Structure 1
Amino acid sequence: MQMNVIANKLSFENCFVVNCNGRGGGITILWKSHTEVQINSYSQHHIDAETQMPNGNRMRVAGVYGHPETGHKKHTWMLLRWLAGLSSSPWLCCGDFNEILHPDEKSGGNDRNMNLINDFREVLRDCGLKDVGYQGYVFTWNNGIYGQGFLEERLDRFVCNKAWSDRFVDCEASNLDAWTSDHCPVLMAVQKRSGGMNLRGRNSS
């Protein structure tokens, strides 16, 4: 009900929601009435959707909420590999992956375990996905403990497959300011290479 209210305020006529579990998780996708969207699958950790472009070609967009617990991260990587095997369509994947790709995407605390970083790198490589990059402040999450215990990490990002990057103009995502969340919103505007089509994607954790 809360997301329906937000969707109406943002002038989105359609809304699909996977409810949060307590205070954690929760994923939603909003779209305009003139856009045809098909929800292929969903769980507490993803929504996989497909839409048809004006030329009739299909493209996929997936929102992901990665397991925060170290022992469960393998389930996120299994999910991504499963999703990657379903279609070769242009695919944009975004969300809170709850993992970093490079040691310098973390500030404060102990160094990140390189085995965990390498697992994330490996699954993106296996799925044919690449990080689209970013503009703005590097970190998208902080623990809210200011002082010596302050931690920041880049957990939220957009990744895409080659079919997507071949079709759309390369565009970095923008890490925006956060006001009420420990995660910052990440915004990406996408333009088709041949012109005539603009999309705006937003991952807000």
Structure 2
Amino acid sequence: MQMNVIANKLSFENCLAVNGNGRGGGIAMLWKSDIGVQINSYSQHHIDAETQMPNGNRMRVTGVYGHPEISQKKHTWMLLRRLAVLSSSPWLCCGDFNEILHLDEKRGGNDRNVNLINDFREGLRDCGLKDVGYRGCAFTWNNGRYGKGFVEERLDRFVCSKAWSDRFVDCAASNLDTWTSDNCPVLMAVQERREGMNQRGRHSSRIHYEDMWSLYDVCKEIIKEEWGLY
């Protein structure tokens, strides 16, 4: 009922909400009527859906809430592996994974167990998913403490399949500020790539190369640096 009220305030006509356990807030997916959505499966830790855009193109969106307990984290990665084989649609997966991918995604407190990080990496690798990157604050969660006890981590992110990054412009997610939660909202603006558009959303131009340039030592470094733009 609470999510339906929020959906109405945000002008979303459709909402699927799954209650959480105990004090947990649960998980929800909201969408507008001009987008066709088919819910494939859901639980207290995920909502998996196939969506059809107004232009008819399809993509898959999965919202995830990772197990926070260390002993249960493996079940999150097992869930992703099971979902990965169920569809070949371009896949965007997002949410609070409750784990970091790199040691520098945590500041303060004790060092993170490297084995837990590696389990997360292997789970994404097995599913063919990669982190899309971010803009804004480097961390999306903090423990709300002060001084030496303050800890912050990047637990919330978007990851995508190659089929998704091939179809949509590679646009990093934006980590937004918040004053009402220990987790920051993360925003992704999705734009389909049009013909002639490169991965950054710009129209590609023709490249000309003269073999005489290879005589200069700096040529290789320039090519290596600039090639990623196309």
TM-score, length of structure 2 as denominator length? 0.83
Q: Does residue 56 of the first structure (1) align with residue 56 of the second (2)?
A: yes
How far off its partner does 1:181 sit? 0.4
Report the more deviating stretch, 35-44 or 17-26.
17-26
What is the one-letter code of the residue matched to 1:27? I
What is the one-letter code of the residue matched to 1:131? D
Q: Which has the higher strand share?
A: 1
Q: Distance in 2 between matches of 1:2 and 1:22?
A: 16
- Give the count of matched residue pairs: 195
**Aligned partners of 1:63 and 1:95 also within 8 Å:** yes
Report the more deviating stretch, 53-62 or 39-48.
53-62
Deviations 1:146-191 (A, max 9, x none): 1111100000000000000000000000000011100000001010
- Hey, what does 2:151 align to over in structure 1? 151
Q: Which has the higher helix share?
A: 2
- Percent same amino acid at aligned positions? 84
**Aligned partners of 1:100 and 1:117 also within 8 Å:** yes
TM-score, length of structure 1 as denominator length? 0.93
**Aligned partners of 1:134 and 1:174 also within 8 Å:** yes
What is the one-letter code of the residue matched to 1:148? K
- Hey, what does 2:186 align to over in structure 1? 186
Q: Distance in 2 between matches of 1:63 and 1:25?
A: 14
What is the one-letter code of the residue matched to 2:33? S
Q: Secondary structure at the match of 1:125?
A: helix
Deviations 1:110-132 (A, max 9, x none): 11111110110111111000000
How far off its partner does 1:25 sit? 4.8
**Aligned partners of 1:25 and 1:65 also within 8 Å:** no
How far off its partner does 1:11 sit? 0.5
User: Cα–Cα, structure 1 residues 55 and 10, in superposed 2: closer, same or farther, change >3 Å?
Assistant: closer
Deviations 1:99-119 (A, max 9, x none): 000000000011111111011
How far off its partner does 1:194 sit? 1.2
- Hey, what does 1:98 align to over in structure 2? 98
Deviations 1:1-42 (A, max 9, x none): 111111000001111101121222511111111111111000
**Aligned partners of 1:25 and 1:45 also within 8 Å:** no
- Hey, what does 2:222 align to over in structure 1? none
Q: Distance in 2 between matches of 1:92 and 1:180?
A: 26
- Hey, what does 1:168 align to over in structure 2? 168
What is the one-letter code of the residue matched to 1:7? A
What is the one-letter code of the residue matched to 1:105? E
Q: Secondary structure at the match of 1:144?
A: coil
**Higher Cα Rg, which structure:** 2
Q: Distance in 1 between matches of 2:54 and 2:180?
A: 37
What is the one-letter code of the residue matched to 1:91? W
**Aligned partners of 2:38 and 2:49 also within 8 Å:** yes
Point out which structure has higher relative CO (alpha carbons under 8 A, 6+ apart). 1
